[in-house]
Structure formats: structure tokens, C-alpha cells
Amino acid sequence: MEPVAVLRHAPPVGENGYDVNQPALPLNVEMSHPKEPPRLPRQEFRTTTGPTRFATMDSPVGELTLFGDADSLSGVWTRTKTVPENWDRDQFAFQDAIAQLRAYFAGELREFDLPLAPAGTDWQLRVWAALTTIPYGETASYGQLARELGRPTASRAVGMANGRNPISIIVPCHRVIGADGSLTGYAGGLERKRFLLALES
């Protein structure tokens, strides 16, 4: 008869197949979670209450046109557009916005502190408010914003609203990029987008 091999030092095994002599995993072990993206407080938008005024300023990305009422900013155009005849030029009304934009381009300002009153649909306003949470020097993808807005399949709708953002630079639509890191589109042109992201890097 051939000898039968006997395993003399096998660890005792419980019903679940685990070594019963191994210490149990502590119940208070903290599991790691994916890092949440940095975010700023969401900007609260106003509603315009008076006639529209406008002002212009020179900048490294070309002449900017600022417009709104006497108390809030409704838009910053980075491309030349025809100003409606019923808008009054008022450089004084936008002196604070102009000063902050100049400080931003000089690398001296990272967060704008201005009353904003963009005009748009409820969805557009939600997207634009979400844009204000992306910090200086950071970016977010369209899909990421869609998930944060509770509509994970609405990347395209986020992109469309992003492209209609009327307050360029201050509401930072230039900080939204493709999921693969590509710049994708920008209403002000990709060269301006590239410049703004490089300025903030």
C-alpha cells in the first residue's frame, strides 16, 4: 500500500473558507474614496432692473465690451459686435469690473467679486452658475458638469449652454474642456481659450 501524505500544519478553516487564526479587519478602517474636484461657492445671479449700458476696454485678448444695468454685469463680449442703438455708453458704471479684469490679466486676481445678471433659460443659468464653481487654474469636463448638475447624460446640453455664456472670462466657460483633455470649442476662439488657460496655469 502506498503511503498517504498527511498535511499536519494546515491552518484551521472556518465555514467561509478563511483562516480562522487571522486577525479580523478592524471595523473602523477608513476606505479611500476618489478625490472630489475642488470647487468654489456657486455664484448667485441677479435680474437686471434698468436700461442697458455698456463700456469697452482693451485687453490682451482684444477689445472687450461690457454691458448690463447700473448695478450688475450682464455680459462681456470678447469679439466685436454691434452695440444696440438704445444702449448708453457708461464707462463709470463698469469701472469696478474693468479694474478687476485688468488685475486678472496682470496675474493679480484669481476670483472676481462682481454682481452678475446674465439673461438665459433656467437650464442655461444653472450651467453658468456651475461654471462659477470651477477655480482659477482648474478645469472640468462637460460630462463632469453634467453629473454635478444631476443630468449625467446631458454633456451635449451642457456644451450648448456653455457656448452661449454671455459673461466671458468672469463666468469661466474657458475652463471647460473635453473628457480627453482637448480644448474643444470656445465662442471667443480657441486662441483666446488657450491664452486664458495658460495665464491661469
pLDDT tens for the chain, residues 1 to 201 = 444 444 444 445 454 444 445 444 444 444 344 456 677 777 778 787 789 999 999 999 999 999 999 899 999 999 888 899 999 999 999 999 999 999 999 999 999 999 999 999 999 999 999 999 999 999 999 999 999 999 999 999 999 999 999 999 999 999 999 988 888 878 888 999 999 999 999
Predicted pLDDT at 74: 97
Q: How far apart are CA 166 and CA 7, in angstroms?
A: 77
Q: What is the DSSP letter of 174?
A: G
Q: How far apart are CA 75 and CA 64, in angstroms?
A: 10
Instruction: Compute CA distances 147 → 33, 184, 187, whole Å.
Output: 17, 19, 23
What is the domain-level CATH number for residue 71? 1.10.10.10
151 in any annotated domain: yes
Catalytic status, residue 81: no
CA angle 67, 47, 127 (to 5 degrees): 85
Domains: count for the chain: 1
Note if the pTM is more than 0.75.
yes
94 in any annotated domain: yes
Predicted pLDDT at 30: 46
Run of H or E residues at 158: helix 155-163
113 in any annotated domain: yes
* Cβ partners under 8 Å of residue 99, min gap 6: none
Predicted pLDDT at 57: 97
155 in any annotated domain: yes
Q: Are strands 88-89 and 140-141 parallel, antiparallel or unpaired?
A: unpaired
Predicted pLDDT at 200: 97
Residue given cell 477689445 in the structure block: 63
Predicted pLDDT at 16: 46
User: One of 61, 64, 158, 173 is an active-site residue; which one?
Assistant: 173
152 in any annotated domain: yes
Q: What is the DSSP letter of 153?
A: T
Tell me: the pLDDT tens digits for 140-176? 999 999 999 999 999 999 999 999 999 999 999 999 9
Residues present in the chain in total: 201
42 in any annotated domain: no
- 56's grid cell: 469697452
* Cβ partners under 8 Å of residue 133, min gap 6: 39, 40, 41, 42, 43
Domain hosting 93: range is: 53-200
Predicted pLDDT at 36: 61
* Cβ partners under 8 Å of residue 128, min gap 6: 45, 118, 120, 161, 165, 167, 171, 173
Q: What is the mean pLDDT of the chain?
A: 85
59 in any annotated domain: yes
Q: Are strands 73-77 and 140-141 parallel, antiparallel or unpaired?
A: unpaired
- 47's grid cell: 435680474
73 in any annotated domain: yes
